[in-house]
Amino acid sequence: MKRPVVITSLLVLLSGLFAGCSNSASTNQPAADSTQQSQPTPSQPAATQILHMNASEPETLDSGMSNDVISGAFIRSLYDSLVRLDKDGKPVNSVASDIKLSDDKKVYTFTLRASKWSNGDPVTANDFAFAWLRVLNPKTASGSAYKYYPIKNARAFFEGKAKAEDVGIKVLDEKTLQVTLENPTPYFLTLATFYYPVNQKVVEANPDWAKKPETIVTNGPFKLANWEHKNKIELAKNDQYWDKDVVKLDEIEFSMIEDTNTELELFNSGELDWAGGPISGLPADAIGPLRDEGKLQTMERATNYYLLFQTEKPPFTNAKIRKAFAYAINRKDIADNIGQAGQTPLMGFVPLSASLKPDGYFKDNDGETAKQLLAEGMRELNLAKLPEITYLYNTSDLNKKIAEALQAQWKQVLGVDVKLLNKELKVMFDDQEHGKYMISRTGWTGDYNDSVNFLELMMEKYSSNNSTFWHNERYVELVKKAYAEPDEAKRNQYLVEAESILMEEMPVTGVYSSVNSWVQNDKVKGITVDPLGYIDFKWGYKEQ
CA 187 to chain centre: 15
Residue 424 shares a structural domain with residue 371:
yes
Range(s) of the domain holding residue 396: 299-516
Query: Does residue 537 lie within any of the structural domains?
Result: yes
Count of H-run helices and E-run strands, the chain: 16, 21
DSSP per-residue letters across 33-52: BGGGGPPPPPSSB-SS-EEE
- Taking alpha carbons only, the member of 463, 505, 349 closest to residue 10 is 349
230-234 CB contacts, 8 Å cutoff, 24+ apart: 230/57, 230/256, 231/255, 231/256, 232/256, 233/55, 233/58, 233/74
CA 486 to chain centre: 26
Residue 243 shares a structural domain with residue 320:
no
Q: What is the pLDDT of residue 174?
A: 97
Those residues with Cβ within 8 angstroms of residue 379's Cβ, 6 or more apart along the chain or in another chain: none
Residue 414 shares a structural domain with residue 533:
no
Residue 19 shares a structural domain with residue 67:
yes
3 state SS for 167-233: CCEEEEECCEEEEEECCCCCCHHHHHCCCCCCCHHHHHHCCCHHHCCCCCCCCCCEEEEEEECCCEE
Are residues 444 and 8 in contact, defined by beta-carbon separation less than 8 angstroms? Answer: yes
CA distance 290 to 103: 51
Using a 10 angstrom Cβ sphere, with 0-12 exposed, 13-18 middle and 19 or more buried, the burial of residue 304 is: buried
Q: What is the pLDDT of residue 143?
A: 86
Question: With b meaning 16 or more CB within 10 Å and e meaning fewer, what string describes 10-47?
Answer: bbbebeebbebbeeeeeebbbbebbeebbbeeeeeeee
Label the pairing between strands 508-520 and 107-112. unpaired
Q: How many domains does the chain have?
A: 2
Q: 97 in helix, strand or coil?
A: strand
CATH number at residue 33: 3.90.76.10
Query: Does residue 262 lie within any of the structural domains?
Result: no
Label the pairing between strands 418-423 and 344-345. unpaired
Q: What is the pLDDT of residue 21?
A: 33
Those residues with Cβ within 8 angstroms of residue 511's Cβ, 6 or more apart along the chain or in another chain: 304, 305, 306, 307, 329, 331, 334, 345, 346, 402, 441
Residue 193 shares a structural domain with residue 328:
no
Residue 378 shares a structural domain with residue 419:
yes
- Taking alpha carbons only, the member of 97, 68, 67 closest to residue 80 is 97
Q: What is the pLDDT of residue 44?
A: 56
Are residues 31 and 90 in contact, defined by beta-carbon separation less than 8 angstroms? Answer: yes
CA distance 373 to 313: 18
CA distance 237 to 253: 12
Query: Does residue 2 lie within any of the structural domains?
Result: no
Query: Does residue 374 lie within any of the structural domains?
Result: yes
Query: Does residue 454 lie within any of the structural domains?
Result: yes
Q: What is the pLDDT of residue 88?
A: 81
Are residues 477 and 497 in contact, defined by beta-carbon separation less than 8 angstroms? Answer: no
Longest CA span, the chain: 74
Preceding omega of 315 cis (within 30 degrees of 0): yes
Query: Does residue 272 lie within any of the structural domains?
Result: no
CA distance 344 to 352: 8
Q: What is the dihedral of CA 230, 236, 240, 242, to 10 degrees?
A: 100
CA distance 216 to 385: 55
Residue 216 shares a structural domain with residue 240:
yes
Label the pairing between strands 91-93 and 96-101. unpaired
CA distance 406 to 331: 9
Are residues 20 and 92 in contact, defined by beta-carbon separation less than 8 angstroms? Answer: yes
Residue 179 shares a structural domain with residue 327:
no
CATH number at residue 401: 3.10.105.10
Label the pairing between strands 274-276 and 418-423. unpaired
Are residues 277 and 5 in contact, defined by beta-carbon separation less than 8 angstroms? Answer: yes
Q: What is the pLDDT of residue 226?
A: 98
Q: What is the pLDDT of residue 11?
A: 27
Q: 346 in helix, strand or coil?
A: coil
- Taking alpha carbons only, the member of 284, 328, 324, 277 closest to residue 303 is 277
Residue 375 shares a structural domain with residue 509:
yes
Sheet arrangement for strand 96-101: 96-101, 107-112, 176-180, 169-173
Q: Give the pLDDT of the chain (544 residues) as one tens digit per residue.
A: 444 433 332 222 222 222 233 322 233 444 445 444 444 444 456 678 999 999 999 999 999 998 888 999 999 999 999 999 987 889 999 999 999 999 999 999 999 999 999 999 999 999 999 999 999 999 998 989 999 999 999 999 999 999 999 999 999 999 999 999 999 998 999 999 999 999 999 999 999 999 999 999 999 999 999 999 999 999 999 999 999 999 999 999 999 998 999 999 999 999 999 999 999 999 989 999 999 999 999 998 889 999 999 999 999 999 999 999 999 999 999 999 999 999 999 999 999 989 999 999 999 999 999 999 999 999 999 999 999 999 999 988 899 999 999 999 999 999 999 999 999 988 999 999 999 999 999 999 888 888 999 999 999 888 878 999 999 999 999 999 998 888 899 999 999 999 999 999 999 999 999 999 999 999 999 999 988 888 999 999 999 7
Query: Does residue 105 lie within any of the structural domains?
Result: yes
Question: In 10 A of CB 270, how many CB atoms?
Answer: 9
Query: Does residue 410 lie within any of the structural domains?
Result: yes
CA distance 91 to 29: 9
Residue 402 shares a structural domain with residue 462:
yes
Residue 476 shares a structural domain with residue 525:
no
Residue 76 shares a structural domain with residue 225:
yes
Those residues with Cβ within 8 angstroms of residue 533's Cβ, 6 or more apart along the chain or in another chain: 9, 11, 69, 277, 278, 299, 301, 302, 303, 445, 446, 514, 516
